């Protein structure tokens, strides 16, 4: 995680570039923030805070004389969020200032060597080890930073995107990349880099994605890229800038805005993947899926829950399909001797656990389909095929519109396999159901007024309602900090019901006539044990006393409105608790470390 930015050359206002850039990246982490400016007199000016970019802003002059600059917003991995551990990190002799996104796995042994060589360290980060090893190599070898970086990269094990300022060359900005995202932007009078395009789009639209193993430097008008000492040709990549809008649009929080953008996103997907008569998916891709005997989904968090829905869709078609949490599969990859296709789902396209799986799959030369919201992300670049979610930027750490987009896209894809166009009508009416929920959100806010007092919340469901329960529970714990768990309705009595007392709330999803009776019985069992039950049903199954109901929607899509209600519910519970909804504690939006 962590976000990094850097610039060199004639930047109109360095403070503004770095601070606005970091603010746009703070969804990658917000434990601490910092910046280093380097001027033509070879003087560093470094500012750091434990806290957010807004706190940093208060410390930095509006105008700073600089020839180059780097900045960082941190999600702490090694070392607590303290000033000493905040980036930029300076090397002991002060030759280098650098910022890092990633994790160095062999930092302990490197630290030992540094201490033996007489280096003293101020903090506990793996980044301080990088800065000092780099300085050590530089001073020992023929004083060439590029050679020192090349050697450094041979020593480091782990992941890194590095932006490095060297005191004696204020007009150069060095960088190196392995397994953490890094993008360069070229413009007439300056060159820039960042963890993603957001901080850069105001300055340039000529992007270069730095690939693993690449390093080099930027100057005002030169971009030098190398790999193992050899020059690499620059390749420009495109971004859909319209979808990178970060405007709050009058909303108080991104989460609420993003929940309410969902119907728009579904419409956009309908336009993109159906031309009014036919589905527009790539024929080759559809054939691969038709011929596949075994579909394996890999994902994390909310994307994992969307994958469970996809798994169900393929199972209903009679195909063998399964879903793994990426971080589990990566350490025990399972390949079948059947014709196997992998589907990798990720909003950010940068989730380290998933990228690790993709590497394993690519090393076996197997087909992997990426479903992502982020064009030119690592997942996109390395996939056999990519399907874009078209959801627009998702800023709130809690994923909302991306989930609905993932499920919608999967429903379209599966329908396209057999040219089943009835899904189009169902998706149009789904949008009406969601609009109706938007209009009735006050009812959900009232429900939240009751729910927020509990310190244990269970969600239950059966079939696709169980998947909704899992996603609802993740949302609730993630942004409200209330302990929450999800269970298949039938499992409660096999153990978890022991936890129930009069301080427990149970929310049951009931959207399927097949399981209506069973799930209501499960809820009753909890009520009998003094738990407080709240049933979210579809109108056709609604009974007096239900907490909320939604209009009819096709059974295969009902997971979307059920989850939609739960997104509002978590949102309003968090509002009641007066916590930071968009940036919940301990989390970051883009999880680029394992």
If you search the block for the tokens 């309908």, which residue do you land on? Answer: 270
Confirm or reject binding of residue 351 to ligand M6R (CB under 6 A).
yes
Is 272 labeled as catalytic in the residue annotation?
Answer: no
Among 97, 191, 340, 346, binds ligand M6R (CB under 6 A): 346
R_g (Cα) of the chain, nearest Å: 25
Query: 415 or 567, CB closer to ligand M6R?
Result: 567
Per-residue interface string for the shown chain with ligand M6R, residues 291-330, x marking contact by CB under 6 A: ---------xxxx---------------------------
**Which two three-digit tokens encode residue 154?**
């041979």
Confirm or reject binding of residue 218 to ligand M6R (CB under 6 A).
no
Query: 542 or 587, CB closer to ligand M6R?
Result: 587
Question: Could you give the strand order of the β-sheet that contains 158-166, starting from the edge strand earlier in sequence?
Answer: 89-90, 96-104, 158-166, 173-178, 214-218, 223-227, 230-231
- The dihedrals phi and psi of 342, each to the nearest 5 degrees, come to -100, 140
Among 66, 70, 397, 492, binds ligand M6R (CB under 6 A): 397
Give the shortest CB-349-to-ligand M6R separation in angstroms. 7
Is-contact 322 296, C-beta < 8 A? yes
- How many residues bind ligand M6R (CB under 6 A)? The answer is 15
Query: 70 or 183, CB closer to ligand M6R?
Result: 183
- Start-to-end Cα distance in the chain: 10
Question: Could you give the strand order of the β-sheet that contains 548-550, starting from the edge strand earlier in sequence?
Answer: 483-488, 456-461, 504-510, 532-538, 548-550
Give the shortest CB-560-to-ligand M6R separation in angstroms. 15
Stretch that binds ligand M6R, among 9-17, 33-41, 108-116, 396-404 (CB under 6 A): 396-404
Is 2 labeled as catalytic in the residue annotation?
Answer: yes
Per-residue interface string for the shown chain with ligand M6R, residues 97-136, x marking contact by CB under 6 A: ----------------------------------------
Query: 560 or 591, CB closer to ligand M6R?
Result: 591
CA separation for the pair 297, 132 (Å, rounded):
42
Give the shortest CB-300-to-ligand M6R separation in angstroms. 4
- Contact set for ligand M6R, span 468-527 (CB under 6 A): 474, 478
Nearest by Cα to 90 from 119, 110, 116: 119
Is-contact 196 161, C-beta < 8 A? no
- The dihedrals phi and psi of 24, each to the nearest 5 degrees, come to -75, -15
Query: 137 or 376, CB closer to ligand M6R?
Result: 376
Question: Could you give the strand order of the β-sheet that contains 294-299, starting from the edge strand earlier in sequence?
Answer: 320-325, 294-299, 340-346, 368-372, 385-388
Give the shortest CB-471-to-ligand M6R separation in angstroms. 8
Per-residue interface string for the shown chain with ligand M6R, residues 354-373, x marking contact by CB under 6 A: x-------------------
Query: 516 or 582, CB closer to ligand M6R?
Result: 582
> What one-character-per-residue DSSP string does 47-76 give?
EEEES-HHHHHTTS-SS---SEEEEEEE--
Q: Which residues are catalytic?
A: 2, 589
The residues that touch ligand M6R, with contacts defined as CB under 6 A, are 300-303, 346-348, 351, 354, 397-399, 474, 478, 591
């Amino acid at each position: 995680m962590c976000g990094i930015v850097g610039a060199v050359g004639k930047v109109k206002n360095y403070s503004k570039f770095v601070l606005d850039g970091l603010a746009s990246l703070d969804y990658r982490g917000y434990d601490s923030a910092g910046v280093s400016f380097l001027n033509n007199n070879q003087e560093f000016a470094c500012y750091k805070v434990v806290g957010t970019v807004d706190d940093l802003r208060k410390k930095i002059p509006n105008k700073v004389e600089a020839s180059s600059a780097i900045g960082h917003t941190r999600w702490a991995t090694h070392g607590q969020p303290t000033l000493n551990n905040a980036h930029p990190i300076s090397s002991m002799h002060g030759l280098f200032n650098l910022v890092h996104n990633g994790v160095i796995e062999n930092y302990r042994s490197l630290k030992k060597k540094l201490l033996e060589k007489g280096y003293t360290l101020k903090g506990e980060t793996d980044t301080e080890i990088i800065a000092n090893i780099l300085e050590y190599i530089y001073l020992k070898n023929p004083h060439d930073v590029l050679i020192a970086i090349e050697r450094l990269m041979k020593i480091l094990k782990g992941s890194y995107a590095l932006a490095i300022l060297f005191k004696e060359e204020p007009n150069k900005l060095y960088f190196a990349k392995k397994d953490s995202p890094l993008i360069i932007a070229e413009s007439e009078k300056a060159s820039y880099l960042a963890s993603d395009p957001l901080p850069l789009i105001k300055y340039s639209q000529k992007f270069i994605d730095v690939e693993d193993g690449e390093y080099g430097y930027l100057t005002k008008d030169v971009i030098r890229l190398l790999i193992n000492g050899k020059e690499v040709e620059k390749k420009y990549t495109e971004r859909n800038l319209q979808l990178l809008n970060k405007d709050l649009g009058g909303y108080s929080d991104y989460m609420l805005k993003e929940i309410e953008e969902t119907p728009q996103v579904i419409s956009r997907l309908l336009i993109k993947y159906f031309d009014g008569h036919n589905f527009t998916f790539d024929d080759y891709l559809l054939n691969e899926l038709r011929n596949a005997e075994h579909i394996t989904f890999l994902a994390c968090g909310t994307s994992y829950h969307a994958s469970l829905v996809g798994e169900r869709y393929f199972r209903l078609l009679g195909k063998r399909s399964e879903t793994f949490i990426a971080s589990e599969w990566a350490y025990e990859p399972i390949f079948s001797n059947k014709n196997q296709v992998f589907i990798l789902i990720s909003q950010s396209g940068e989730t380290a656990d998933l990228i690790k799986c993709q590497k394993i799959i690519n090393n076996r030369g197997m087909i992997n389909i990426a479903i992502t919201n982020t064009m030119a992300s690592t997942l996109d670049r390395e996939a056999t095929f990519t399907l874009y979610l078209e959801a627009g930027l998702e800023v709130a750490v809690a994923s909302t519109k991306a989930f609905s987009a993932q499920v919608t896209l999967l429903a379209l894809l599966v329908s396209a396999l057999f040219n089943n166009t009835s899904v189009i009508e169902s998706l149009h009416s789904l949008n009406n159901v969601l609009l109706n929920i938007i209009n009735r959100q006050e009812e959900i806010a009232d429900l939240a007024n009751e729910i927020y007092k509990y310190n244990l919340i269970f969600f239950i469901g059966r079939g696709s309602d169980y998947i909704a329960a899992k996603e609802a529970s993740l949302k609730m714990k993630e942004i409200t900090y209330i302990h929450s768990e999800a269970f298949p309705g039938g499992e409660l009595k096999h153990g978890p019901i022991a936890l129930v007392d009069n301080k427990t709330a149970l929310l049951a999803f009931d959207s399927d006539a097949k399981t209506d009776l069973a799930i209501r019985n499960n809820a009753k069992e909890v009520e009998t044990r003094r738990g407080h039950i709240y049933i979210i049903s579809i109108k056709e199954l609604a009974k007096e006393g239900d907490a909320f109901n939604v209009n009819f929607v096709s059974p295969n899509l009902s997971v979307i409105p059920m989850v939609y209600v739960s997104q509002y519910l978590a949102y309003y519970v968090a509002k009641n608790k007066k916590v930071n909804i968009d940036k919940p504690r301990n989390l970051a939006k883009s999880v680029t470390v394992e």
